[in-house]
Amino acid sequence: MALKRFMFAAFVAFVSSVATIGILGRLSPSPVAPPVAAERRVGRDELARHSGARDCWMAIGGQAYDLTSYLPRHPAPPSVMTRWCGRDATEAFATKGRGRPHSPAARVMLAQYRIGLFTP
């Protein structure tokens, strides 16, 4: 009986939490995209200058990202990511090196690190 009550309470808490997050997420402003004309363009040479673990930029799918602050948070061993610093990592992001794409969650997080367009 106690288990039944606990399960019901947990289920109600779960549905309420999901609904709250969903509603708050929709109500909060989306990050304002800068006007296209003023958007920063990162070329291959500039990208290559940020090729270390302490200053790590990557190009993924035509966008440039500054992933320096994310590196310590990535779950895989550091070398998996640092070897792509300063390079176009589109393929690596799409396959994780073994034919498996990153999750939608990873794509949501990646968007937070975008610094401009990649123009090779």
Partner 1 sequence: MSTTIQDCGRWAGTLGLAAFLLAALMSVRAPRLDGWFGGLTRQWKIHHVLGAAAFLLLMAHPLLLSFAAAGYSLRAAADILFPGAGAWSVWAGWAALAAMAAFLAPTFSFFGEPEYQRWKSLHALSGVALILGVAHAAALSRAMPGGYWVGAGALALFAAAGRKVWSRALGRRGYVITRLERIGRGVVELSLKPEGRLLRYAAGQFVYMTPLDPDLAAGRGEEHPYTLSSSPDEAVLRIAIKSLGDATRALQTAALGSRVLVEGPYGGALSGRAAVRGELWVAGGIGLTPFLGRARSLAPGHAVDIHLIYCVQDETRAHFMPELRSISARVPGFVVTPHHFAREGILKAEFLRAACPNFAGRDASMCGPAPLLAAARKVLLRAGIPAARIRQEDFTWL
| Amino acid identity, position 98 | R
* Least distance (Å) between residue 36 CB and partner 1: 21
* Centroid of chain to Cα 45: 23
CA separation for the pair 83, 77 (Å, rounded): 11
CA distance 26 to 13: 20
- Measured distance CA(58)–CA(70) in Å, rounded: 12
Shortest Å, Cβ 86 to partner 1: 24
Residue 3 or 38 with smaller CB distance to partner 1? 3
Q: Please tell me the distance from the alpha carbon of residue 103 to that of residue 100, in angstroms, as a whole number.
A: 9
Q: C-beta of 18: minimal distance to partner 1 in Å?
A: 6
**Which of residues 36, 45, 75, 79 is near partner 1 by CB under 8 A?**
75
What is the maximum alpha-carbon separation in the chain? 67
Residues 12-51 vs partner 1: string with x where CB under 8 A? --x--xx--xx-xxx-xxxx--------------------
Interacting residues with partner 1 (CB under 8 A): 3-4, 7-8, 10-11, 14, 17-18, 21-22, 24-26, 28-31, 73, 75, 100, 103-105, 107-109, 111-112
